[in-house]
Amino acid sequence: MKRIELIKGDITQLKTDAIVNAANSSLLGGGGVDGAIHRTAGPQLLDECKQLNGCPTGEAKITKGYQLPSAFIIHTVGPIWRGGNKNEPTLLKKCYTNSLAIAKQNQLKTIAFPNISTGVYGYPKEAAAQIAITAVKDYLNQNELPEKVIFVVFDDENYAIYQDLLA
């Protein structure tokens, strides 16, 4: 699909209309990609996030990008992996579809996703990638916006997984 791209790199350096933050439910910053986004965006991001009253798992909320090259940040809260029988696949899929819906509502043409839930939340990487790709392809098949979705991976293992699944 021409509307999906894969790159290995730092999502905080991407110039897209929006990047997605794999946030925790407080939206007040954390480790991994969440911490990197908060550090790069600057203190105004934390100030705006404090006004949002958190975010439930599977849902998404939008803020400005502040010091990031991207204009907006869509924060979504992925599920913590608990073996797969606690609705994790459905909740992870909702992270992608709800983020894409917010992008569409805001007329955003480009959006970049990290690997949601595969870090400290422990979601198996290949299973998470399959859900991500399927959710994005299904959404794009039914919607004109966003025009382009970029999967941004940080490591060789995830890059290989996504490359295989997108082939």
Complete DSSP assignment for 23-38: E-TT-S--SHHHHHHH
List the catalytic residue out of 34, 47, 138, 156. Answer: 34
- Report how far residue 24's alpha carbon sits from residue 76's, in angstroms, rounded to the nearest whole number: 8
Q: Which of 157, 158, 147 is nearest to 1 (CA)?
A: 147
Instruction: Calculate the CA 12 to chain-centre distance.
Output: 12
Give the bridge partners for 62, in sequence order: 74
17 is catalytic: no
For 67-85, letters b (16+ CB in 10 Å) and e give ebebbbbbbbbbbebeeee
Burial of 103: CB neighbours in 10 Å, binned 0-12, 13-18, 19+: buried
100's tokens = 């894409």
Indicate which residues carry an active-site annotation: 34
